[in-house]
Structure 1
Amino acid sequence: MSDPEPHFCHIAIVDDDDAVRVGLSSLLRSYGYAARAFESAPALLAAGADALARFHCVITDLQMPGMSGLELLEQLRRQGNALPLILMTAFPEPALRKRALQGGAACFLSKPFDANQLLACLRNAAASVPPAD
């Protein structure tokens, strides 16, 4: 499958830090992606299966109160949801990276990361699963 056109690519951003959500949303929009931000993993899950089916990819922080990005990944997989998920963290412990990638994370980024790194991960992840209509 070829890369989806950016303007048809819908990305969910999950981070407890408002500045990160706003910054990532702005960055993605500047590259033609549609972005919707969520303040927590439970907020994303509460959007429901129909809403999740519209996304090409989730970008989430690893460490958040309540439910971590890794727990979000594991919950999605338990639900049978193969939505690509990119984890980002300021604390890139090798054991967490290994667990995330073995658990099905599309990418594991260490903060701070270059926008080109994120975009490359996003293109690869978003191309792998088309959203439902």
Structure 2
Amino acid sequence: MTQCVYLIDDDDAIRDSLSTLLASVGWQRQPYASVADFEHQHSDWRSLRGCLLLDIRMPGKTGLTLL
């Protein structure tokens, strides 16, 4: 599995901008609008390769809570 930046941010503009920036330097990225969306897609964390880029203030579960 390739390494990826898992980008979780509830602000559409921030998420889109960061995703575009990461893509411009050739990094694989997967953007999510919430921690719940991320957890729904990735229930088994052991299979993930890469890093998390988290917003720390979001409605519901925050980036700090996930971390």
Q: TM-score, normalised by structure 2?
A: 0.86
- 1:43 corresponds to which letter in structure 2? D
Distance 2:11 2:55 in 1: 9
Shift of 1:32: 0.9
1:46 has 2:43 as partner: no
Distance 2:47 2:39 in 1: 11
Residues 65-87 of structure 1 deviation map (CA, whole Å, 9 limit, x = unaligned): 001111011xxxxxxxxxxxxxx
Secondary structure in 2 aligned to 1:58? strand
- 2:44 corresponds to which letter in structure 1? A
Distance 2:29 2:15 in 1: 10
* Corresponding residue for residue 65 of structure 1: 59
Shift of 1:17: 0.3
Q: Point out 4+ residue stretches in structure 1 off by more than 4 angstroms.
A: none
Which has a greater percent of helix?
1
1:56 has 2:38 as partner: no
Distance 1:53 1:22 in 2: 25
Shift of 1:55: 3.5
Answer with 1 or 2: which has the greater Rg: 1
Structure with more contact order per residue of length (Cα contacts < 8 Å, sep ≥ 6): 2
Q: TM-score, normalised by structure 1?
A: 0.45
* Corresponding residue for residue 34 of structure 1: 28
Shift of 1:54: 3.0
Distance 1:62 1:70 in 2: 5
Mapped contact 1:13–1:36 kept (Cα < 8 A): yes
Unaligned residue ranges in structure 1 (runs of 5+): 1-7, 74-133
What CA RMSD, in Å, does the superposition of the two structures yield over aligned residues?
1.6
Task: Give % identity.
Answer: 34
